[in-house]
């Protein structure tokens, strides 16, 4: 991820800590269509980096999601983001 001030998240960075958690929630839809209650089950990997951010990766039965959470003192603007994923062919 490249910010407008040309700071790159991946340069001079290291992992400080990580955690893994299994989440089993239920979402109640305010406007139910097929279901009023929707299961929200996933495995969560949180990785905290030396720079002021962390990434959370959620693995569902039918998909994967990720998000960055920053703790910069001021707002940031992302200039460019490239995500590349490599999954094994079989598990």
pTM: 0.75
Q: What is the DSSP letter of 58?
A: E
* Among 39, 81, 30, CA closest to 62: 39
Cα-Cα-Cα-Cα torsion 54, 52, 77, 79, nearest 10 degrees, comes to -70
**pLDDT tens digits for range 35-84:** 888 899 999 999 999 888 899 999 999 899 999 998 888 888 888 888 88
């Amino acid at each position: 991820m490249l910010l407008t001030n040309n700071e790159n998240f991946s340069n001079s960075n290291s992992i400080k800590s990580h955690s893994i958690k299994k989440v089993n929630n239920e979402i109640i839809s305010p406007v139910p269509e097929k279901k009023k209650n929707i299961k929200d089950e996933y495995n969560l990997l949180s990785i905290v980096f030396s720079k002021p951010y962390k990434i959370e990766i959620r693995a569902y039965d039918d998909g994967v999601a990720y998000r960055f959470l920053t703790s910069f003192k001021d707002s940031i603007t992302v200039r460019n983001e490239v995500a590349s994923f490599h999954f094994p062919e079989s598990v």
